[in-house]
A and B are shown apart, each in its own frame.
Chain A
Amino acid sequence: MPKCTINGKEVEVKEGTTIIKAMVDAGERIAHYCWHDGLSVAGVCRLCMVEIEGNPRVQIACNTTITEGMKINNTSEKVKEAVKWGLDFHLINHPLDCPICDQAGECGLQDQYMEYGKYDPEMAEPKQKKKKVVDLGPTVVLDSERCILCSRCVRFTEEVSKTNELGIFNRGDRSEIGTHDGMPLDNKYSLNTVDICPVGALTSKDFRFRQRVWYLKDAETVCNGCATGCNVKVYYNKEGFFRVKPVYNENVNGYWMCDEGRDIYKFVNRETRLLKAQVRSNSGWSEMPAGAAAKHAHELLKTTSGDSLALVLTAQYTVEEFDAIVSTFVNEFKTKKIYFWINNKETFDNFDGILLRGDKNPNTKGLLKVLEKHGITATWNDLSQGLASGAIKTVVVAGPENQAVFPDFHERVKELSKAQNLIWLQAGKNEALMSLTGNVWLIPMKTFVEKDGTFINHAGLEQKFKKVTTVVSEALTLTEAALLMSGKNLAIPTAQPFLPLNQRPDQVELEARKKNEFVFRRGSL
């Protein structure tokens, strides 16, 4: 384990560590564009300059391995001058169209210029003209003039997605990122290139022009798109959720996530949600508050015998919720007719070798664990028979949050609607449910970003996540629905709901912003 000195601080690193990695880990600031911990070293932006004692030249930190006793600094005038000019070279042909650029606010050029900029531009020549609004594929748009040719996206398609769609064409200051004719950037991980693009060259078709990033808040959670459980950050504001980006987790997803996972914000937003409970009786549909609908359902459930009552669960809820509702059914309603609705049996075990899994539920392992705990062994066949024979009269369904991954949705609705009474708990709207006849309760549920909880991923890893925000305030969690349906009341939170204004956590942040302090966000690169 070699020891070295970085800016006067003694640091011990693993054998083979590069200077830049050691500096980033040690919390030292170092300018860089092309280096990315999840990719190979390109050494082309020439910004991560450091001075090593005994070496007359400044050199790049990303391709230099630390050796015993190395004395490294990046605060000397020589280094500062090199970085300043290095950054200026990046900018001379950059269009500086920040006001209309989607990356503004989270741009590597903007951020690093604040700290390392020359503040004295001397470029008086006409800038290079390059292609704008290049359609690279179904998900990504390129602006070549903004591109600083760090080659991160090229290395991503080479090394991570292994699809090799991107390359750098032409030479010198005419160099441009591009794809070969007829070979668009079209892979299941393509949007990672947008994440790692330090500037506004690659933008996501889904996100571009929809929000200014400074109007977005972000919070970490766990992707509920499949059994991998990638750690993600969701970006939102009052208008809803706008995008999802990966968060590094060595044990789960590394630095990446798939494109499918980026869509999970869509079924969270109000447009797709069931906002009020819909209850259908002989006199037709009527609308009522979710809590009231659950209590209304209780009136039925308290008179229902355990033998004629079934519960259907999708693996789309948290472990805590599963436990609450299964306990309620086993202990209060005295039924063990609890069934696991598996959405895509055939492809359940598929895995693409990177992140994507065939099991499109975030918590299959969690559900199985809860079912096992309560000794539930019932199979779907039992349910089908019970429904066909009329033995099962009332069914409670915890429907899927992510309806898109339930290709058998309509089929199941049809099958389950054979029950006399159908109590359907679900976050999103669905036409099939609204066209049901008979006694139906549709009760809106909260989505994964609106609650605390735990998912257990394919590998059995328990991942806890916190509530991000509330989108549909009236919607219930499965736990709340279980309580209300069994005739109990919801506990009112005891924590003081109103904080003095100056103690609110976001107020503190606001004040920091008022000071207009520049925050160097290494994480955004």
Chain B
Amino acid sequence: MFELSVACKYLLPRRRQLSVSIISLISILVISLVVWLIVVFFSITDGLEKNWIHKLTALTAPVRITPTPAYYNSYYYQVDTLSQATDYQSRTIRQKNEALVTDSYDPAEDQEIPSSWPAPDLNADGSVKDLVKSVYESIDELSGIDGVQAHDFEIAAGQLNLTVGRESESGSSLQKLASKSLSFPAFVTNFEPQNRPLTQTLLPLDSHDQTNVLYQLGSTAQGLRTFFDHVQVKAVKTPSHGWKIPLKLLPEQFHWKVYAVYHKNKLVRIFVPLDLSREDHLASLEENPELKVIPSNVISNSEGMFLQLPGESNLTPLSNRSPLTLLGDTTFPAYPLQDSIRTAQDLENVSLEIALTVQGSDLNGTVPFRGLEIAQAEMNPSTQVPWIHPEGKTLVLPHDSILGAGILLPKTMKEGGVLVGDSGTISYFSPTASILQEQKLPIYIAGFYDQGIIPIGGKLVLANRDTISIIRPSLQPEEGPTTNGINLRFSSLNQADTVKEQLLKAFKSKGIHRYWNVETFREYEFTKGIIQELQSQKNIFSMIALVIIIVACSNIISMLIILVNDKKVEIGILRSMGATSKSIALIFGLAGGIIGAMGSIIGILAAIATVKNLQTILGVISRLQGYDLFNTAFYGTAAPQELSYEALSFVIGATVLISLLAGVVPAVKACLVRPSSILRSAG
């Protein structure tokens, strides 16, 4: 194709056509920048959206079936409140599905049905239509959908009360922190053991959680043994306020550089750094005007232990009680002594074998566990750990005999200082014969999940079904948004609309469509706004992007018009050799297309490199700015690293199309060149 080779030759930078070369270069640069920007932006937003939707569907489901007011007003639902067989209690979807009898009403035993009630929906044989079982039948009839799982859900309301106490001291004030209580209203929904997608939203147990669980369980011998059976401690660290080095651990002779801390001219603490590059930990102490930090030496020899202040030759003797404190967050290997665990009644009696080197002096020996934190531990795979864990294909939310019922809290609570192992109660009101009585159910935190951006996510507590069934009567259907329903999960989120369509069709054919709402994850009351906002943001940016691409490609028009003027004689020569006007137009159209394609390719390559290294780039920018570029509460801990193929196709399509369109005007101009006049004038 000679048109392509001619177009390529024309685009090669030449001194004779400097203006064309410069404009071409600028065009390519601008297009590649725009392409890079669009692809990176869409890859990030698409990645975040996928992440959010993943979390959303893990906590809810891709499709939800919920009862309409018509269901709660129906004879089918209300009849249980009149029936002795059901203890005059309305039944949940699960109870309805498990019930052997659809219509529990016994005219002989039960009181008369109020005339205001609607007539029951009847089957062809005159029996009452089972509205819940018909739904499950419709789910079973779904075709072409892989991995369908249906689980009913319940939501109850309660007041969550937590007591968060830590054995800690503030580094700046050296004052003990009081334990704090947290109390907030919460929606408690049931935890589904078969909900594997939830696993990916669970936060892994960190060393703070492990330490907290140990301290919570450490009050009993059984708790201690449960913990150490499943957790192998490999290393410990000193708490942020430091760790008093036991005197028996100190070597006989040493010479250490230390920081002596004075409060009102009284020596209160001597901080010992593991090595001499840890001064940053003293910054908070130095900021406190009441404290005076003096870099000094501690010398120990056969005559005793002495403090040597700078510029003083006199040594101040230190009493055996003078505390040498290892600086905070110092990690060192440690092994719990199995004998001490076997015999210990609580954590006070558990000992650790430690080995560390402080400024060249070896410190080896046995120390009590209390006062130290777990830094590194290995989990023994087990089914009895008191936190959430997988067991085969299901997840287990444990119920601990000491701590109570395990619950899962949203990530924001962990950021608020709550740790796995913290305990408290859920209070709820239980109706008695005369009054509503407040009841308290002991619970403890068995794990955290990342709730993403669901508005009610911060208040959603996951608990086992038996916990819900205790609290449930406190929330009536009319009080909550959706208190009972069926979560429908399946392999591909893209099939959500198909599932909804099939279900609505099935409900209609069964005559139960007015009793049930079917919603996909994009339609939930609490997510609709966010998803629409995301979509409108993307639409607005697409429009802006399109305008930017048009502006970038408009450079191509100028460049091609100059090129056509420069190449008029050559156009005449080509025409004299038999080139058609279409071929001439194609040469300049291709020149525009090549610039667009080159810009796109460079932009896409840069975008791929950026997206693949996004985490590093964000880290660098965040460090330069001094604050996090992406709020982890909203965006998760890891930046998206997947390229948006939707954005790629949009950009490639738009750029090439607009570049070709940009070539139209110059190409038409080139077609209109009369070879005779050009060749004559050039001659």
Do A and B assemble together? Answer: no
